[in-house]
Every structure is written in structure tokens, then in C-alpha cells.
Amino acid sequence: PFFCWPAHTLYPAAHRGPYCVVGMIALLHVSAVAVGSLQAKPLGWQPRNTGRSRCSLRCLDDSTDLWDSLRARLETTAPPPLGVDDIGADKMGPSDVISHLMRGMQADSVQGCTTMLGFAVKEPGERCEDTLGQLLPGAFSDGVSFQQYLNDHERYNTLTQLAEWKCMGPPQMSDMSRKAAQKLLVRRDGCNWEDFFINLLLGDAEVVGKRWLVTSIYKQGVAN
């Protein structure tokens, strides 16, 4: 089907009559030519052989190193790097922050700890636990010392050997949605699931403004 604009949009008001008729006749002629060019091919018609060679697909030589490298790239769980414009509360909610942190911890525990410090509320003094016994990531000066502490701690070393993790439902919000608490399950390779908790606070940060920050983490017991 062809679409024809209304005559009053193509020609001035004073010249609609004859020019519109001529335009319609020309359009009908073009339509007839177009329809004629689309006639069905006779029965048994075959495309003419132009002598050109057809395309063919070839597989590259099997290379163990190549496939291992490709598999490693596909299986990596490392999160992409984030910029200043990516970490504000309007871009990353509590669930987004937790997913980013846990993926980083699973991919590389030292880098994951460093990333968590970048999302943690800075704690003054030397204490690394609050009055409830929850660990304060912001009390550590760098990712290496934080990772070493976790690795040497009986309850927390699962985080440095993380094989799998999952959230147990959405975060529990409180204080007019300015605080969030997320329960997760974590486990080492060949071990059972263990409970793990992350607490967050919607705070103010320089340059970024409002963003979700980690206040404390807590892990119960050790599973075999």
C-alpha cells in the first residue's frame, strides 16, 4: 500500500485543483510501474549463476590456551569499575551496593576488601567492632590489612575464600528508609551455607552527595 499526503499539505490553497489531479495521476502511474516490476517468476525459475564463489565458514585451529583464556573471561565475577557518577544513591540502592561488594569479594578478596572500604563509613580510633560485636570495615586503613584480619578470623575467613553467595530476600529498611540491613548466605567451596549480615546507612559524601555506605558486617558461626 502507498501513503498519500492530503492535497492541502502539498500545494497552496489557490492551486489545489489542477495540480492535485496531475499529482494523483503521476502517483498512480508510478504505482502501476512498481506493481508490474513485482510480477511472479515463472515456474522452475532458478537464480543465474554469476560465477562468484560462495562464502564458507571455517573454525580456527583448536588451541587449549585460547579456549582457557576465553573461558576465564566469561566466568569472571569481578564487577566493573565505578566512577564518581555511578555511586550516588540515585544510581545505586542498597541491593546494588551489596551485589557490587560481594561480587568483588568473590573475584578477589584483597580487591574486594579495598572496594568495601571505599563504601564504608570511616571509623575513628582503633576499635574494629561495635558494642554489639559487629565488625566495622571503616576502622581499617587499607584493603590488605582488612583482608588479613578476615582471613585470620575463624568466623570471617569464609569471606576470603568465598565460593558462592546469595541474598535472603530484599534489604530490611528502617529509620524512614535511611538504614538498610541485608541478610545473606555465604559458603566456601565444599562447605555448607553460613549466615552473613551487612548493615548500610544513607549518608552524605563529598562530591557525590547522598550515597549508601556500609556501617558494619556480622557473620555467625562456621559451617563444615
pLDDT value at residue 80: 84
C-alpha–C-alpha distance, residues 8 and 22, integer Å? 14
Work out the angle at residue 119's Cα, subtended by the Cα atoms of residues 180 and 111, and round it to the nearest 5 degrees. 125
Q: How many CB atoms lie within 10 A of CB 118?
A: 14
Tens digit of pLDDT for each residue in 202-215?
999 888 899 999 99
CB 182 within 8 A of CB 61: no
Give the bridge partners for 214, in sequence order: 120, 200
Tens digit of pLDDT for each residue in 140-176?
999 999 999 999 999 999 999 999 999 999 999 999 9
Within the chain, residue ranges assigned H as helices are: 7-10, 16-36, 64-75, 94-107, 109-118, 143-152
Q: What is the pTM of this model?
A: 0.66
Tens digit of pLDDT for each residue in 58-106?
544 556 666 665 555 555 567 888 988 999 999 999 999 999 999 999 9
C-alpha–C-alpha distance, residues 197 and 100, integer Å? 15
